Amino acid sequence: VQQVASERTCVQFSIRRASGSAPSEVRGQCVAKRSKLLHRGPRAIFFGGIDVSIRGEVWPFLLRYYSHESTSEEREALRVQKRKEYLEIQQKRLSMTPEERGAFWRNVQFTVDKDVVRTDRSNEFFRGEDNPNVESMRRILLNYAVYNPAIGYSQGMSDLVAPLLAEVQDESDTFWCFVGLMQNTIFISSPRDEDMEKQLLYLRELLRLTHPRFYQHLAALGEDGLQMLFCHRWLLLCFKREFPEAEALRIWEACWAHYQVSGHPRLAGRGLPHLAPHPAAP
């Protein structure tokens, strides 16, 4: 998907095939033909991806930070409101009592501080000493742990925040995109082992339905075969370390598009681990 126009009341996109051939334009006529754009958008993203130059604009829609029906004025008003809420969350963290601060350091901050300095440092956006973007990523993760203490922080979350921040390039907007990611998908395990086991259960069932011969092969190996320990990192980071970054981000976008999933009872209810929601923050 490639941006072709921008007006006061809507953003218009064209579809670019993955092969790089000339795009067949799908122009959303502001408001009147928006439904047509929304209908074709997920399919275009699923098969063709998003042009890297506009990921920062499109990802907030996919992660449900922006409504597809919103106008540019409504989105700007939302950003102002959410920036205020973000600063309130941060102030709550900075206003902890000494006892609360000590517990937070042991349970969250110690691990965050270790992780952010080694996350995506080969990316130009995070490269170099005293990089302010690394500190921004750190604040996002610490503030998220305050926002949603039921989830807190788990190792691997920095791997999910880093690409969001590098594309969106705004701390508050990235935070709320990450909130949407964590509420609507499980790319990373929550602190409870049973949540990972649930994801593996979904994956085993999907494998049984789509590749029964391979499923039987794993079953023939005994109990260890169906534990599928080799899949843990796949689910934790949605293949980020299994593929080159450009390909991994395409996989993310395809998942976020939810193309032909929400209306498919077998896939929506049983099959796709990455669509199972996290517990929402209070």
Of 23-27, 175-179, 187-191, where does mean pLDDT reach its minimum?
A: 23-27
Among candidates 28, 24, 20, which has minimal Cα distance to 52? Answer: 20
How far apart, in whole angstroms, are the C-alpha atoms of residue 149 and residue 203? 27
Please tell me which residue, 2 or 251, carries the higher pLDDT value. Answer: 251
Question: 152, 184, 216 — which closes off a domain?
Answer: 184
User: In whole angstroms, what is the distance from residue 178 CA to residue 156 CA?
Assistant: 13
Residue 57 lies in a domain: no
pTM score, two decimals? Answer: 0.76
Cβ partners under 8 Å of residue 80, min gap 6: none
Claim to verify: residue 232 and residue 128 sit in the same structural domain: no
Least confident of 35-39, 54-58, 91-95, 176-180: 35-39
Distance between CA atoms of residues 97 and 40, nearest Å: 51
Residues found in the chain? 282
Average pLDDT over residues 30-44: 55
Q: Label the pairing between strands 24-26 and 11-15.
A: antiparallel
Residue 211 lies in a domain: yes
Within a domain: residue 236? yes
Flag whether 25 is in a domain: yes
Q: Do residues 35 and 132 both lie within one domain?
A: no
Q: Does 176 share its domain with 202?
A: no
- Which domain covers residue 260, as residue numbers? 193-275
Number of folded domains that form the chain:
3
Residues 119 and 140 placed together within one structural domain of the fold: yes
* pLDDT of 34 over the 80 cut: no
Supply the pLDDT for residue 173: 99
State whether 123 and 218 are in the same domain: no
| pLDDT tens column, 93-109 | 999 999 999 999 999 99
Report yes or no on 61 lying in a domain.
no
26 within 8 A of 44, measured Cβ to Cβ: yes
| pLDDT recorded at residue 258 | 82
Contacts of residue 202, defined as CB under 8 A and 6 or more positions apart, other chains included, come to 270, 271, 272, 273, 276
Strand order in the sheet with 24-26: 2-6, 11-15, 24-26
**pLDDT, greater one: 195 or 68:** 68
